[in-house]
A and B are shown apart, each in its own frame.
Chain A
């Protein structure tokens, strides 16, 4: 019998994909490419992948797997969002301007103003299907490798 106290049920898992729904894949593809800077790839009539530039030169990368649905039965909230990171505050502002310009075309329901909090400059978008997105620029102090250092200084538990 496996000793459950010493090893997890899953060994060396890789987080590979997230899944979401959209009523109109073409609309989400255009929104994702125009506002979020992602690449949309149709993989079936009712399914597409959203991926970033790392997919072209790295073996392991995160992908969003989008399925078409007639209705969105469980709308997501802002605290359940997908995040993209850009290289500067100016790029956040530019994405915000692009989203605002095309809000009606993409059926965007909510666009929040960019703000700075927790060492990150970002804004949130609620899309036509109640999926939420964050476009952010992280100050160096907020980047993951630094968060690892912060956590390690607290013994891994900063509570």
Chain B
């Protein structure tokens, strides 16, 4: 460990934030498609509970949604490869209902299958099976 690393700031990763245009539509997508628990403690923001003390904070913005890269994405694990495949089919079927912008194909990455999608706010999501967890 270098001297630089000795600052000893004691922190936990607690949240990420995104801009959303329509809180209600975003909440519907989160709850009814992604299966996330959502609360709205503030008029201008909803919180999706990521578990383990981490939340995704979604702040209402009147601005045009910015372009987002698929390299900046949120990753969800589900129980099985079958559930990943079912979710990918559902994403294709429900594109119009949830204003899903893009649905990628099923891929094999890091020893697990996954697909990615771009939601109504241009935010990218990765859905993969929990069977292989190289990072956590």
B residues contacting A by CB (< 8 A) are 2, 4-5, 7-19, 23-24, 31-36, 39-43, 47-57, 59, 61, 66-69, 71-79, 83, 86-87, 90-91, 94, 97, 126-127, 130, 133-136
Contact = CB atoms under 8 A, between A and B. Distances in A.
B76 A15 contact: yes
Contacts of B76: 10, 13-16
Contact of B5 (A33, A58, A91, A150): A33
Contacts of A30: 2, 4-5
A3 B53 CA distance: 31
30 contacts: A9-B34, A10-B35, A10-B87, A12-B79, A13-B35, A14-B76, A15-B48, A15-B74, A16-B136, A17-B126, A34-B4, A34-B9, A37-B10, A38-B13, A53-B12, A54-B12, A55-B136, A63-B13, A63-B135, A69-B71, A82-B15, A83-B57, A84-B13, A85-B11, A85-B15, A95-B9, A134-B15, A135-B11, A151-B40, A151-B41
B36 A81 contact: no
B83 A10 contact: yes
Interface of A: 2, 4, 8-21, 30, 33-38, 43, 49-55, 58, 60-65, 67, 69, 73-74, 76-77, 79-87, 91, 94-95, 98, 102, 105, 118, 134-136, 144, 147-148, 150-152, 154, 156-159
